[in-house]
Chains A and B, each alone.
Chain A
Amino acid sequence: MIRIVMAGTAFSVACSLQPLVGQDPVIHVLAQFPALILAGSLLGGRFRLPQHLTGPTLVLALVSLAIWMLPRSLDAALLDPVWMVAKFVTLPLCVGLPLAAAWSHVGSVLRGFLKAQAISMLLFLGFLYTHAPMRLCNSYLVDDQQRLGLGFVYLACALILWWIIPVFFGQISSNKKDDDNDVSRHRIELR
C-alpha cells in the first residue's frame, strides 16, 4: 500500500512539473523523467515476474528508454499532445515498471554492465549536449542544452559514487543466481 501511495506521489510530482518543462530541459529530462520512471518502478517492485520473461522485459524497458533519449522525442512531447500522453504512460509502465520487475532476476554481471552502460551513456549525452555545434531540440536554446549536458555529467558522477562506494565496503547486492557462484569465507589458506 505504501508503495502505491509513494508511486502516486512521484507521479503527481511529475504532473505538477508539466507547466515548467517547456522552459527548461533540465526539469524535463532530469526531474520529470526520473519521477515518472520512479513511479513505475515503485509499482514494478511488487511484481513476481517469471524468470523466463526477464529478457523480453528488460528489452522492453531499454528500448523504451532509448526512444526517450532522442532529442526528437523531447520536442514531440512538447508539441504533440499524443506524445505528451505517451510520455506519462510509457515512462512509468514501459521503463520503470519492467525494469524494477526484472531486476531481481538479473545476475550481478549484467547488473554491473547495465549500470556501467547507464553511466557511459549519461557521459556520452553530456558530451554531445555540451559540444554540439547546433541546437539538438527545436524547443530549447543552446544555453539550455549545455546546462542539460552538464546535468547529465553531474548525474553520472553521482551515480558512480552511489554505486561504487558500497563495493569497497563489501555491501554488494546479489541475488539467487549469484549465490551459486559465491565463495564462502575462510576456505583457502593464504599461500
Chain B
Amino acid sequence: MSATDVYSAESGPNPQEALVKFTMLLGGVVFLLMMVFGLIMRVAQGDLISLDPEMFYLLLTAHGAGMVGSAALSGAAILWFFSARHLNLRSSIYIAFLGLFLAGVVLILGSIFIGGYGGAWTFLFPLPAMSGGLWEAWAGVMFCVGYLLIGVGFLLYYLELGLKIASRYNGLLGGLGWRYLFANNSTDVPPPTIVAASSVLVFNTIGIVFGAAVLAASIVNLLLPSFEVDPLLAKNAIYFFGHVFINATIYMAVTAVYEILPDYTGRPWKSTKLFIGAWAAVVIFVQAVYFHHLLQDVNMPAWTMAVGQVVSYASGVPLIGVTVFSLAVYIKGSGLKWDLPISLLTLGVVGWGLGSIPAMVDGMVSVNKLMHNTQWVPGHFHTYLLLGEVAMAFGFAAWLVRDKAVTTLSSLDRLVFRAYVFGGAGFVLVFLWSGASSIPRRWAVHYEQWQLQSQLASGFALIVVLATLVLVVRYVAGLARRSQ
C-alpha cells in the first residue's frame, strides 16, 4: 500500500467524505425534528397547548433516545472522518455501522409510536416491563433490540478503529500516547485525534458491553418475567452505560476542533504530555464517575458516594480545562478570521465547559439530595449538548460544505449564530432556574406556579429551532452547491 492511501489535509479528498456528509445530513435533520418534539413538550408544560400526558411520555422517550442517538451518530461521523486522515479505514465497516444504526432507529421509532413504549431513553429496569397497561411487552423488547443493534454497530465501528490504531501505533498503548506519557518514548507520538479515538474506543466499548448485558437481561425478563434481575445491579449497569455513552459523543466530536482549528490559526494542535495526560484521566474517570447518578440510592455503599462526588471533578476538569485553555492560547494572536464553522466549534467547546459546572455542583451529595430529580439536570446536559456537542456537529457540517472563497461571517450567518447562542443560553438558563426552584423533571403536567418558566423557555426554544432550521437548510444548500 502506498503512502497516498492515507488522506492528509494536503493530499486530496478524504475517502470517507461522502459517507460522512450523508451522516451529517441525517444527524442534522433528526436533531431538528427532535428539537421540535422538545419544543412541543416545553410548550405543553407551559400549558400553552394541551397535550395528552401519554403522548408527552412518547415524545420524551423519542426526544431522549433520538437526541442521544443523533449526538452519537454525528460524533462518530466526525471521529471517523478525522481518523481517516491518519488511518486507512474501510468504508464497508462504516456502511455496516450505519446500516445497523438505522435498523435500530426503525425499531426504536416503531416501539415508541406504534407500540406505545414510553419508558424513557434510560429503559430503567424494571420499567420496560411495568407499563401499567400503556404498552405491551413486545414494545419494550423492540426498544431494547433497537438499542442492541445500535450497540453492535458501534462495537463494529470501534473494532475497526481499534485494529487500525493498534497496528499503526504499535498497540493501543501507543494510540493512547501512554508510551510517551509514562515511558517517555517520543518516537511516533500519536496526533490528538488518535489519542481521542483510542481513549473513546476503550471506555465506550466497555460501556456498551455493560449496556448490552443489561439490555439482554431486560429482554429475557420482558419475555419470561420469572427471570428476575437485581434492580440495583441493573441500575448500576444502565447508568454506567448511559453516562459513558453520552459523554463519548462529545469526546468524539471534539476531534473536529483539534483538526479544523489549525486550518484557521496555522498552528497545529499538538499532543503534549499535558494533553495526553488529560485524556488518560478521562479514560479512567469517565468510568468511575457514574456513581453520581446513584447518590439517592440509599443501599449503595458509602464509598461509591465518595467516589461519585470526588470523581465528578476529576472526570471533567482536566480535559475540559486543557481543551478550553489550549483553544484560547491557539486562537490568541493568530489573526483568526471568524466564520460560521469556527464560531460554532468554539461555541461547542465553551458550552461543553460551562455545561459541566452544574454537573459538578449536582455531583455533591448534599446538593444532589435537593436537586436530583429537578430540571437542574436537564439544565446541565442541555448546556453541554445543545451548546456543546450539537454546536460542534453543526460547526463541522458547516465546515464540510464551506465556500473557501468566503472567510468571514455573512450577515445571515451572524444572525443565525447569535440566535442559536441567545436562544440556547436562555433555554438552558431557564432549565437551571427551574431546577433551583425545585421544579421536577419529567413531569408532563406542570402546576400553574411553574408555568411561567416553561413559557419563557418555549420562546427561547422556538428561536433555537428556527436557527437550527437555517443551519440545516444552509447545509443542504452547501451540499447542493458543492455537487454541481
Contacts and interface: CB of A to CB of B under 8 A. Distances in A.
Please indicate whether A and B come from the same complex rather than being unrelated chains.
Answer: yes
Contacts of A190: 189, 191, 268, 270-271
Contact of A183 (B1, B93, B173, B174): B1
Contact of B170 (A134, A170, A181, A184): A170
Interface string A147-182: 000000000000000000011111110100010111
Contacts of B90: 109, 181
Contacts of B212: 120
B167 A174 contact: yes
A170 B160 contact: no
B189 A189 contact: no
A2 B264 CA distance: 64
A189 B8 contact: yes
Contact of B156 (A109, A132, A180, A188): A109
A124 B227 CA distance: 13
A50 B6 CA distance: 32
A128 interface: yes
A191 B8 contact: yes
B269 A191 contact: yes
Interface in B1-57: 1, 3, 5-6, 8-9
Contacts of A183: 1, 5-6, 87-88, 164, 167-168
A190 B187 CA distance: 11
Contact of A187 (B3, B191, B271): B3
B297 interface: no
A109 B226 contact: no
A64 interface: no
Contacts of B167: 170, 172, 174, 178, 182-183
B93 A109 contact: yes
Given A127-B217, A131-B228, A184 B1 contact: yes
A contact face: mostly helix, strand, loop, or mixed: loop
Interface in B190-215: 191, 209, 212-213
Chain B residues touching A, range: 35 or more
A109 B3 contact: no
Contacts of B85: 188, 191
Given A120-B212, A133-B227, A167-B172, A188 B163 contact: no
A109 B168 contact: no
Interface in B262-278: 262, 268-271
A180 B155 CA distance: 22
Contact of A188 (B8, B155, B170, B213): B8
Nearest to A186: B188
A112 B163 contact: yes
A188 B173 contact: no
Contact of A131 (B155, B162, B168, B229): B229
B399 to A, nearest CB: 16
Given A167-B166, A180-B1, A127 B216 contact: yes
Contacts of A112: 159, 162-163
A189 B271 CA distance: 13
A132 B417 CA distance: 56
A185 B173 contact: no
A188 B216 contact: no
A133 to B, nearest CB: 5
Contacts of A191: 8-9, 85, 191, 259, 262, 268-269
B172 A168 contact: yes
Contacts of B164: 181, 183
B188 A172 contact: no
A167 B213 contact: no
B171 interface: yes
B80 to A, nearest CB: 15
B446 to A, nearest CB: 41
Contacts of B9: 191
Given A169-B171, A191-B191, A182 B1 contact: yes
B39 to A, nearest CB: 39
Given A127-B217, A170-B170, A187-B6, A120 B162 contact: no
B86 interface: yes
Nearest to A132: B227
Interface string B157-187: 0011011101111111110000000000000
Contacts of A54: none
Interface string A98-123: 00000000001100110010001001
A190 B180 CA distance: 14
B88 A181 contact: yes
B279 to A, nearest CB: 15
8 contacts: A128-B227, A131-B227, A168-B166, A172-B167, A188-B85, A188-B191, A190-B268, A191-B8
Interface of B: 1, 3, 5-6, 8-9, 85-88, 90, 93, 155-156, 159-160, 162-164, 166-174, 188-189, 191, 209, 212-213, 216-217, 220, 226-229, 259, 262, 268-271
**Complex A-B, nearest 6 residue pairs according to Cβ-Cβ distance, in ascending order:** A170-B171, A170-B170, A112-B159, A169-B171, A133-B226, A168-B172
Given A127-B220, A171-B171, A182-B88, 11 more contacts: A168-B166, A170-B170, A170-B174, A174-B167, A183-B87, A185-B168, A185-B188, A188-B8, A190-B191, A191-B8, A191-B9
